[in-house]
Amino acid sequence: MSESASVSPFPPPPPPAITNSCRTFSEKDSVTIAAVRITTNDECSWATDYPDLQKGCFLSRVCQYTQPKRCQYTIISSILQIGPTCGLTALSMLLNGQTTATELLADASTQKYTKNGEMFSALYLFELVKKHINSPLECQFHEGSLDCDKIKDQLYAGACLLVPYPFSNNILPTYSFML
């Protein structure tokens, strides 16, 4: 048996340098991630006063160069989701945090709507909305297509639409309600 020192293998070479061959930016362009202000060649510049809206339009490629005929934008403060509570956290956001997602989770658990925070029933979420709403807002449950005159009219009137993501094979929302 020979005595040889074990030698560690050499590390792999570093990856090649990344070059931006797709596009170069001019002085007119600006991409500032920290401020979430994205204007590239005047794309979505009509929304510069609302950086989140501008970012959404830019990333979705909606109304890139011209202002939409009509735009309503409601600023809703974000709330960090803890655990599988996306529906309850979204509801808490719509209620301006007056009822926390933790309080909604406790209530939903008491009502046996959920165990860990997942809301598998739009009707149960609707019941929580009706119970916790502390304003004269009207809440409606909608079943069916979201591309209908009823939904469009309500949104034009300033309604918020909470659309649960269904657990089904076709992944199309079928139940929703609005405040």
Please state, in angstroms and rounded to a whole number, the distance separating the CA atoms of residues 61 and 20: 21
- How many CB atoms neighbour CB 5 within 10 A? 4
Check 57, 63, 71, 86 and give the catalytic one. Answer: 86
DSSP 123: H
Would residue 86 show up in a list of annotated catalytic residues for this protein? yes
C-alpha closest to that of 113 among 129, 137, 133 = 129
Asked whether 31 and 43 are in contact (CB, 8 A), the reply is no
Catalytic residues: 86
